[in-house]
Chains A and B, each alone.
Chain A
């Protein structure tokens, strides 16, 4: 179960896994996520599904190594099995014929945007994509997005590739050029989604964002993932993860994402020092 069929390093610390999970691969829809646990003492954490591969009954997961759990997952090799992959969780994206949709992906957020834009495209929408990263070497899925979109714009924070600046700058430019936009879907770091929502708000362009809250069970049982939407408390795991970006309290989201920063650092430091001390520790930890 949950065997890694293919592993690709897309960028430093960004990995792609194709994971064999026939039941999930059969059911998962764009916008949904899975909850992962990598070893018996591991935590549960959500990852959005980046693609489905019907041929080998697998789903594609793309993740950045930011904490201990994702770093540990990054040490897994082809043929290894992931202890728990639970899903598909959350609601699926709303895929309708909207007209022209701009899909904005920032950093690792480019991965979950990919299945959504493919679905939007096959529904007949004109899809304009804007993807960005800090730097050229961190930009992922450029080819895939290019093929699936009618138009693609690229930005990097440092100008090493595409246009220098942020994805939101490109979106502003498109709006100012009076290109008709019926909907925006934006996924990336909270600050990016917040800025995108601010850009589209005056023009009343419906803007959908996907919230990467901290989760435990992922089925609505614990409320760790609570977010504020239009002043109301919602659970990202069952009411989302996608919400109307104009209604999201992003400051609260960013606060809540910082709850365990200290513990996350402690855990990651311990993991790295254990890894250095004994190269076998990671394989010992992997129980399948």
Chain B
């Protein structure tokens, strides 16, 4: 057997030059040959470390071995036993901090490309004629309401329907998927894939009710009259602003609005689609996370000549995934580190025209362990801009908390849950994902959904 490569099998992708003019997905994914080649790199450790890094407990060595053997159908079964949304996870999980971080191969070279293999196996299944439906337990007669159809809610729905419970998912927007549909751009997670994964959950016989705002129509208490248990997965849907002078001028968006217009409402296809978006030539995105990268890359695709990341710390402190930063750099996004906006200036019609910034330096580490940025007095400067996207984070959406007596709220507006079960302070109510933790990742939300589903199932068995 030839010695396997110390590097991951490369994944082909659209060239930066080409891709900044379209919203198509950037990486193409592995071919079966490439997937098998990559799967054969796996050492099949006796005590696999990779699984420790997976919040949803996928049997990673098993599915990789099945790919290596060319047994894709079996690999799908292994995967879907633990993860109902593999096509999504394969694309947006931070594998470098999870499964791949623990891979033994990573000590000498690059770890096995577990994420890419996960994506491959999900995409392979989608190309087959029939999506396989796993065995579903006989109906238990129990009903569970899931509030929010993002990654946490879909996971709970998938797990509980498989166990024979009747699940109804309530979604406030007109499309299911939560942040997967309104937040993450098409070029990173094609919406057809989200729709496919949601269809799978529906095939498991979960019911989906769209355009239904729990708390405004029925409250959690009213739903408790009809349902045996409720899972709240309403996400981190309240955008932060910096409350700077001029921050409400025309042309200044929250990242949530900018991305929702582009992703959910397809404003990049205006006027074919009715929702407009301001297409700036000089776009400043404030923040250094994945959402900031998504916004800056969206701006390029909307025709920006200059798309700039304005980040108050330096590159090493950026919370965005390396892969996202590299993609943004390759596409020509300009990075301005140690810079923070302090005010915006507008023309006489109220349109933002200039951003006033201050230079920063790094001081001692703060609570997050990252060095604290400190403004350098007198270093203010102005830069012309015509669109600004504020991507500094989100708080948990307050709608459920404010309409549900008996729910304990945490310091950051989150719903307090027991980490081991997802239980809230209110009887028969569970919560998970960003609503409980504050803005985090898709996979952590799914992990929280898995934990809550297990606890809900235990509860339903004893009632």
Contact = CB atoms under 8 A, between A and B. Distances in A.
A287 interface: no
Given A27-B217, A86-B174, A42 B274 contact: yes
Describe A's contact surface by its main secondary structure.
mixed
A43 B274 contact: yes
B238 A220 contact: yes
B271 interface: yes
B153 to A, nearest CB: 15
B213 interface: yes
A24 B217 contact: yes
A92 B452 CA distance: 34
Interface in A60-111: 68-69, 83-89
Contacts of B212: 23, 86
Contacts of B397: 219-221
A219 B249 CA distance: 21
Contacts of B399: 219-220, 238
B209 to A, nearest CB: 10
A89 B216 CA distance: 7
Interface residues of B, number: 43
Contacts of A160: none
B278 interface: yes
B248 A44 contact: no
Nearest to A257: B250
A222 B217 contact: no
Contact of B398 (A43, A220, A267): A220
B275 interface: yes
Contacts of B384: none
A223 interface: yes
Given A27-B217, A84-B211, A233 B248 contact: yes
Interface string B251-283: 101101100110001100111111110100000
A203 interface: no
A46 to B, nearest CB: 13
Describe B's contact surface by its main secondary structure.
loop
Given A27-B217, A256-B250, A223 B239 contact: yes
Contacts of B105: none
B168 to A, nearest CB: 14
Interface string A246-288: 0000011001101110011011001000000000000000000
A43 B271 CA distance: 11
Contacts of B254: 222-223
B398 A223 contact: no
A251 B247 CA distance: 14
A255 B349 contact: yes
Given A43-B274, A89-B216, A221 B239 contact: yes
B273 A41 contact: yes
A264 B271 CA distance: 9
Contact of A86 (B213, B247, B274, B350): B213
18 contacts: A84-B210, A84-B211, A217-B260, A221-B182, A221-B238, A222-B254, A223-B239, A223-B253, A223-B256, A228-B248, A238-B398, A256-B350, A258-B250, A260-B276, A263-B270, A264-B276, A267-B270, A267-B274
Interface of A: 23-24, 27, 37, 41-44, 68-69, 83-89, 216-217, 219-224, 226-228, 233, 238, 251-252, 255-256, 258-260, 263-264, 266-267, 270
